[in-house]
Amino acid sequence: MANTLRYKEDGTFKIVQFTDLHWENGGKKDGLTRDLMVQVINEEHPDLVVFTGDMIESQACIDPRRSFRQAIAAAESSGTPWAAVFGNHDTEAGITREELMAVQLQCDHCITESGPENISGIGNFVVRLLGRDEITDKALFFLDSGSYGNTCAGGYAAIARDQIEWYVRESEALASERGDIVPALAFFHIPLPEYRDVWELATCYGSKYEEVCSPHLNSGMFAAMVETDNIIGTFVGHDHINDYIGELYGIRLCYGRQTGYNNYSRSGFTRGARIILLEEGKRDFRTWLRLHDGEMIYEQSEHRPEKRKG
């Protein structure tokens, strides 16, 4: 069966999320990023590495293909299966998404797929996580959240209607095959507008040091996830100094932790990675942060929304 992964013998499956590497040309800051990724992979021994966009800072890259190969080398050289979704900076200059996808597909341990040609974006695909009975126990959805909005809406891109319809069809097919809803995670780069809502409406855990840079247009991806009732967690990057988690309508909206040493950050905001642990047969996941200085953050600080008047 194509594009499948399996739990370990103990019934667990661990994912490391790296995000916003903004790799340039292999300089000093890129070296720090590489060292962090090697450290996390060696300490966590993940079953899958996921890059949630902005792997390279394409406008600064002399050779974007070479830079991309350098950016993913820590995962590739470890022999760990890995997947990536594109961010807005990956293909701003010097390379297209199609060309950068071709670089990925040449790698031995990459499980990324180009995805259907008849829908928006490059790299919309789903991975099945099989249980010991060889039946799909979880699904991992990967979506290209685009780059920038059209001239009407402006801002950042929104996940397109045809992508949402594809997600619903794939979810229904998985449920039909199994005879029940298949719990799933979703990975993409740009946060949905509901990332702003959850901070304002629900108790969240973690830091919010910048505004949520979501699309101006709400295209309905979150509503589709709620109605389909399979997504238990979404994982994004894009906003470098946000790392919080909050639950809205049964879905945990999660930021990763900025991994790359290029581009902007905040003093004292140590680079790191988000770790995700799935267990066979459980509609849930555990998650924590591992930072470059060795700190492990299992419980992030609590934020309660301000009470609104009226």
pLDDT at residue 252, as a whole number: 98
Residue 309 domain flag: no
pLDDT at residue 1, as a whole number: 39
Residues of the chain with pLDDT under 70: 1-2, 150-154, 308-310
* 104-133 pLDDT tens trace: 999 999 999 999 999 999 999 999 999 999
- State how far the Cα of 298 lies from the Cα of 296, in Å rounded to an integer: 6
Across 164-191, b (16+ Cβ under 10 Å) vs e yields bebbeebbeebbeeeeeebbbbbbbbbb
Residue 185 domain flag: yes
Residue 96 domain flag: yes
pLDDT at residue 214, as a whole number: 96
Residue 310 domain flag: no
- State how far the Cα of 98 lies from the Cα of 79, in Å rounded to an integer: 24
Q: To 5 degrees, how large is the angle CA 109–CA 35–CA 15?
A: 45
Residue 74 domain flag: yes
Q: Is 148 exposed, middle or buried (0-12, 13-18, 19+ CB in 10 A)?
A: middle
Question: Are the C-beta atoms of residues 210 and 269 closer than 8 Å to each other?
Answer: no
* 43-79 pLDDT tens trace: 999 999 999 999 999 999 999 999 999 999 999 999 9
Residue 175 has phi, psi (to 5 degrees) of -65, -40
Host domain of residue 262: 4-303
* Total domains present in the chain: 1
Residue 93 domain flag: yes
Integer CA distances (angstroms), 35 to 190, 204, 224, in order:
25, 30, 39
- State how far the Cα of 133 lies from the Cα of 282, in Å rounded to an integer: 15
Question: Where do the DSSP E strands lie in the chain?
Answer: 4-6, 12-18, 48-52, 82-85, 125-130, 136-142, 184-187, 204-205, 231-236, 245-248, 251-255, 272-279, 285-291, 296-297, 302-303
- State how far the Cα of 127 lies from the Cα of 129, in Å rounded to an integer: 7
Residue 29 domain flag: yes
Look at residue 149 and give its three-state secondary structure: coil
What CATH number is attached to the domain comprising 254?
Answer: 3.60.21.10
Residue 257 domain flag: yes
Look at residue 82 and give its three-state secondary structure: strand
pLDDT at residue 14, as a whole number: 98
